[in-house]
Amino acid sequence: MNNIINKTYAVKLSEWLSKMEFNYLAPTVIATRLLRKQLKKTVQYVNGDLLDVGCGTRPYEQIFLPYTNRYVGLDVVAGPRVDILADTTRRLPFDDETYDTVICTEMLEHTQHPRKSIREISRVLKVRGHVIISAPFTHKLHGEPHDYYRFSHHILKIMLQEANLEPLEIHCVGTSMAVLGREIGDIMYAFGDVFRSKSLRILMRVMRITIVTPIIWLFYILDCVLSNFRFLKSNTLGFVVVAKKR
């Protein structure tokens, strides 16, 4: 009986830890908060009919939705929040100049031909319409095997200009402090998964919550405080770029 109770307790504890880590404590939470912060700076460019390219679960819909007349989600993978199934490296099922705004968040690294995707985004965007793109500069491998690129703001500007899009604003997603904090978190979180013993795995997860998580949040606070120091922006989690169709 005691063994059954202990096992039940261990399962419930593990489930609670998983929920806490996913919603509040994982290193990705910090990256998402910083990205949302930069995306909110771009809402002045959003209006009319909006196309969310590579929408997935539409994690940033609530930022842009109040400024749109219509919000359409497009992805290459089916999902409950996907309205249109299509590949951006091929012709999208829209006429030229259909949308007033296009957003593309954290998708370009997952396509083998990002230039083709940007050209197609430009085609369906109205003249004087705006595109808002976010892309990673430093990030561990994810979404494998479909993880192909990392982008500097220089190459993002070049690819946009090649597609007849004029860059207007570029925002760094965090500084070196955020990168360092997430790297520490990623290493420690991955290290905890090497143990086979359930007891050791739970112990490591408790240590991540009580020791590693405060360190991650400390770097997040440092990032917010020191964000105006240019020398810290030479390394960043990624970039958010706003461009206008000529």
Q: What is the pLDDT of residues 36-53, one digit of tens each?
A: 999 999 999 999 999 999
Express each pLDDT in 98-107 by its tens digit: 999 999 999 9
Would you state the structure tokens that stand for residue 83, as one six-digit string?
């309205």
Q: How confident is the model at residue 3 (pLDDT cuts 50, 70, 90)?
A: low
* pLDDT (average), residues 127-131: 98
Query: Is the distance from CB of 216 to CB of 27 less than 8 angstroms?
Result: yes
Residues 162 and 69 occupy one common structural domain? yes
Residues 205 and 153 occupy one common structural domain? no
| DSSP structure class, residue 48 | S
Residue 20, domain member (yes or no): yes
Whether 149 shows a pLDDT value over 60: the answer reads yes
Would you state the structure tokens that stand for residue 126, as one six-digit string?
């109205």
Whether 6 shows a pLDDT value over 70: the answer reads no
The beta strand positions in the chain, using DSSP E, are 49-53, 70-75, 84-85, 99-105, 125-136, 165-172, 238-245
Residue 181, domain member (yes or no): yes
Whether 17 shows a pLDDT value over 80: the answer reads no
Whether 2 shows a pLDDT value over 60: the answer reads no
Whether 140 shows a pLDDT value over 80: the answer reads yes
Q: How confident is the model at residue 74 (pLDDT cuts 50, 70, 90)?
A: very high
Residues 116 and 218 occupy one common structural domain? no
Residue 34, domain member (yes or no): no
Containing structural domain, residue 240: 46-174+233-245
Residues 51 and 154 occupy one common structural domain? yes
Q: How confident is the model at residue 178 (pLDDT cuts 50, 70, 90)?
A: very high
